[in-house]
Structure 1
C-alpha cells in the first residue's frame, strides 16, 4: 500500500469535473464536427449585462462597446459576440429591454474553468455602472465544484469524529475500534492507485474520490465488525488464538469474500453507462471493494494474530464484549415469525405508502437550481429563464449534409414553423415563422463547409428540461431528403437522458443474474437469491418515493436545510444511490444468511436458525448501518441539493434495509417459505456441491 500510494496520490490532478454526457451520441458527433470543420464551439461563457436603461440608448451602446473591448483584452478570449454585433435581434435582449446577452468563446489552449474564473475576477459583478451576471456550463461547473469541495470538507469534519465515537461504542474497546480505520485507510490508498491506473486510459470523475472515502470506511467497518465479532466468539469457546483466527477466516472470512464479490459485481454494473461520471463510480466502487476485501482477509487476520486478546484492550465499558445468543434481535425475530403473515402485509403496506409518495416523480439532469438560491450562478440562471424569451446561449446546432439550396430552404421553413422554435440562422439568412431575411445572409457565409451546412435554431424553452427534450424530439422527427444531425445543449441533455434510460434494463438484468449466481453458490438455494433481489427492489422504490417527497415536493427543509425544490430527481445521482445501496444491502443479506445457513446446516430448523442467526448478526448489521449512515448524513449540511440527496438517500436506504427489511421482512418470508428456503433442483444442487462454496 505504501508503494501504491506513490502513484495513487498523483491521481487527483488527473480527475475531471464533468462527465454527464454521452460521448457516443448524435449531439457529441455534431459538437465534434462543429469544432473540427466549422471551427465553432458553443459559447463557454454567457454574460447578461444589465444597463438599467434601454439597451438601445446611446449610453448603453457606449458601455457595451467598452465592455466588449475589456473582454477581448483578457488573455485566452478568442471572440466576443453580443446583441449588438449580431444585428440586435429581439431574442438577445430581455423582455423589459434593459439587459442584453454577450457570448464569449475561448482559445483552444485554455481550460474553460480557469478562463471563466479569470474573466469573472477581472470584470467583477459591476463594470462602469453595468451589472454583470455570468451563466453557462463552465460557470455552473465552477460553482458546483467550489461549493461541493467546501461542503464535503465540512461534512467530513463532522462525519469522522462522529464515526469514531460510534466505533468506540460498537466495538467496545479502543484497539478494536481502530482496526476498521486501518482497513479503511488501506482501502483508500489502494483504491487511489487503481484510479490512477484508470486515468491513464480514460476520463475519471473527481467525485470518485468521495465514493472511495465513504465506501472505504463503510466496508472497513462492515468487514472488521464481522471478523472481530467472530474472533471474540471463538476465543470465548476457549479456542487458541491461532485456531480462533483460522476458524474466523473459514466462516466470517468466507462471508467477507462472497460479500465483496457480490458488492463488486453490483457496482461494476455502472460501467455499462456511456457517461464517465457513472463509469468512474463503477471503477472506484470495484477498486475499493477489492482492496477492502484484501485488507480484511490478509491484513486483519495478521493483526488479530499479533494482538490476540489485546484486541479488547482499553475497554469503553465493563459489559461482556462476546455476543450473546439471546437478546433484542432473537425476541424480534420470534415475534415476527409467530405473526408472519400480518407482519409481512403491514410492512409491505407501509413501504407501499413510501412508494406512493413518489407518484409524481420525474427524472432529469442537474441544473443551476441545485445550488443555493442566493448563489450568483443560480440568480443568473433565474434571470435567463424569466427575463429572456429565447435560449440564445443554448441553441440547437444542426448539420445538414447533401442538401440543395431549394431543399435547405424548405427544411429551414419547416424548422422555423416547429413549435417553440423562434428563430433559425443558416446560410440563407435569419428565418422567423417561415419568413427569411436574406439581407442577413452575408453574416452567415461561414455556415457552409464543403457539402455540410450549419443551421442554428433558437427555442423559447429551457434547453436542459423536459420541454427542451420534446423540442429535440420534434426536430429530429422532421424528415428532409438529406442527412441531418441535431446537436446543442438540449440535444445533449436528451441524449444523456436516453443514454441512462436505455441502459437501465441491462443494469437490472446484470445485477439480477450476477447476484443470483453468487447467492445461489453461497446458499445452495434458488428462492433466497430471488427473494433478496425483490426485497432490495422494494426498498429502493420506497427510497425513491421518500426522496421525491423531500426534494421535489420541498418537504423537511426545517430538518435538512433549505433548498430550491427540484423539477425532477437527478437521474445519475439516483442510479448511483440505487447501485451503492443495493450492493451494501447484499452485503448485509450475506452477513445474515451466512449465520442462518451455518446454523441450519448444523441441524437447526428454519425458525431456530433464523432466530439465532439474526441475534448473532443483527447487532453487527445494525451497528454497521448506523456508522455508515453517520458517515453519509453530514452531507445534509451541503448547500448543493444533489449532495443532500446523495447523503439522505444513502443513509435512509441503508437504515431502512438494516431494520425493516432485515428485521421484519426477512424473518417473515423465511418463516412463510419454510423448507422451500433451501430448495434447488438436483442439477443445480450438484453445481453448488461441486463448487463447494455453500459449505
Structure 2
C-alpha cells in the first residue's frame, strides 16, 4: 500500500495538498481531534441545560399583547395548570365534595409559583367549570415564569396533586403540563431510538465498507459533529434563547451528515484501488 501511495504523483489541488498533509501528519491530526472532542464535550454538556422550552406564542400578536397586559397590570395570565376533580360518589355539589374542592383550590393557590387559582366551588358554581352529569369540575390556575421554569415546577407539582381517595380523584392537566409530559416521553423515546440507530448504522456501514475501523470512523465523525455543534451552541445561548428543538436537530443532522460525507470516501476512488489501499 505504501509503495502504491509513494508512486502516486504529488497532489496539485488544494484539497489534494490538504489530504497529503493529513496523511503525513496523521498521528498529530488524530491527537488533535481527540483533544478537540474532549474540549467540545465539556462545553456541550453545559449547553443542554441552557436550552429553553417554548409555548405556542406569536410575539406582537393580539393574544401576546393581551397576555402582557394581564401580567403587567393584574399579575396574572392564562390558566396554564388545570386540575380535573372527579367525585367518587354522588356529585360535585355535595357538601363533602364542596368542602374538599374548596380546600384543594386553596392548597393549590398557596403554592409559591401559583399566582392564583379558581374553581367551580370558588366561582359560585359556574356551569362552565362542571360536567353535564355533575360528577366532574375544574380548578384553573396560573403559574408564573417562563415555559422552562413552569414545566420544571410542574415536575414536582404534578405528582403532588395527582391523587385519589374515597371522596375525590384529582388529575393534572393544562397546556404546560401536557407539553411537559410529551417532552419527557419524547426524550425517553429519543434515547431509545439512538440506542437502536447506532448499532444498526454500524452494521450497515460494516456491510458496505467491510472494515470495522472504517465503520467506527464514520460513526465517530457523526458523533464529533453532534458534540461540536452543541459546543458551538454554548456561545449562542449566551446571547439569545435557543429552543430545545435545536438538540433534536443537532443529534439527527449531525449523525446523518457525518455518515453522508464519509460515504464520499469509497466512491471518490476506483473500487479496486479502494480495496487495495484499505
Q: Shared fold (TM-score greater than 0.5)?
A: yes
Distance 2:248 2:101 in 1: 43
| Residue correspondences, number | 240
In 1, are the aligned partners of 2:44 and 2:227 still within 8 Å (CA)? yes
**Aligned counterpart in structure 2 of residue 178 of structure 1, from 206, 213, 216:** 216
**Distance of aligned partners of 1:128 and 1:43 in 2 relative to their CA distance in 1, 3 Å threshold:** farther
CA RMSD of aligned residues (A): 2.4
Distance 1:70 1:12 in 2: 34
In 2, are the aligned partners of 1:18 and 1:141 still within 8 Å (CA)? no
**Aligned counterpart in structure 2 of residue 225 of structure 1, from 263, 266, 270:** 263
Is residue 201 of structure 1 aligned with residue 201 of structure 2? no
Aligned-pair CA distance for 1:20: 4.1
Q: Tell me what 1:689 maps to.
A: none
Superposition pairs of residues 266-665 of structure 1, within 5 angstroms: 309=277, 312=278
Aligned-pair CA distance for 1:79: 2.2
Q: Tell me what 1:355 maps to.
A: none
Distance 1:140 1:28 in 2: 21
What secondary structure sits across from 2:49 in the alignment?
helix
CA displacement, residues 103-154 of structure 1 (integer Å, 9 cap, x when unaligned): 1223559921132232222223314520112211111111111111111111
Distance 1:70 1:22 in 2: 33
What secondary structure sits across from 2:263 in the alignment?
helix
Aligned-pair CA distance for 1:232: 4.9
Q: Tell me what 1:80 maps to.
A: 117
Aligned-pair CA distance for 1:85: 1.4
Distance 1:162 1:30 in 2: 50
Distance 2:203 2:100 in 1: 60
Distance 1:79 1:22 in 2: 24
Aligned-pair CA distance for 1:165: 0.4
Q: Tell me what 2:51 maps to.
A: 15
In 1, are the aligned partners of 2:218 and 2:259 still within 8 Å (CA)? yes
Distance 2:138 2:219 in 1: 53
CA displacement, residues 199-237 of structure 1 (integer Å, 9 cap, x when unaligned): 123222222222212211211111111123314559469
Q: Tell me what 1:160 maps to.
A: 198
Distance 2:105 2:73 in 1: 27
Aligned-pair CA distance for 1:164: 0.6
In 1, are the aligned partners of 2:161 and 2:172 still within 8 Å (CA)? no
Aligned-pair CA distance for 1:87: 2.0
In 2, are the aligned partners of 1:17 and 1:145 still within 8 Å (CA)? no
Aligned-pair CA distance for 1:50: 0.8
In 2, are the aligned partners of 1:15 and 1:206 still within 8 Å (CA)? yes
In 1, are the aligned partners of 2:226 and 2:251 still within 8 Å (CA)? yes
In 2, are the aligned partners of 1:55 and 1:100 still within 8 Å (CA)? yes
Aligned-pair CA distance for 1:156: 1.2
Q: Tell me what 1:215 maps to.
A: 253
What secondary structure sits across from 1:9 in the alignment?
helix
**Aligned counterpart in structure 2 of residue 100 of structure 1, from 113, 133, 137:** 137
What secondary structure sits across from 1:178 in the alignment?
helix
Is residue 44 of structure 1 aligned with residue 80 of structure 2? yes
Could you tell me which runs of 5 or more consecutive residues in structure 1 were left unpaired when the two chains were aligned.
238-307, 313-695
In 1, are the aligned partners of 2:163 and 2:171 still within 8 Å (CA)? yes
Could you tell me which runs of 5 or more consecutive residues in structure 2 were left unpaired when the two chains were aligned.
1-35
Aligned-pair CA distance for 1:176: 1.8
Distance 1:73 1:31 in 2: 23
Distance 2:60 2:208 in 1: 48
Distance 2:44 2:158 in 1: 34
What secondary structure sits across from 1:103 in the alignment?
strand
Is residue 62 of structure 1 aligned with residue 108 of structure 2? no
TM-score by length of 1: 0.33
TM-score by length of 2: 0.78
Aligned-pair CA distance for 1:162: 0.7
Task: Pick 1 or 2: higher relative contact order, CA cutoff 8 A, min separation 6.
Answer: 2
**Distance of aligned partners of 1:53 and 1:208 in 2 relative to their CA distance in 1, 3 Å threshold:** same
Aligned-pair CA distance for 1:67: 1.7
Q: Tell me what 1:115 maps to.
A: 153
Aligned-pair CA distance for 1:70: 3.0
Distance 1:223 1:107 in 2: 46
What secondary structure sits across from 1:143 in the alignment?
helix
**Distance of aligned partners of 1:186 and 1:62 in 2 relative to their CA distance in 1, 3 Å threshold:** same
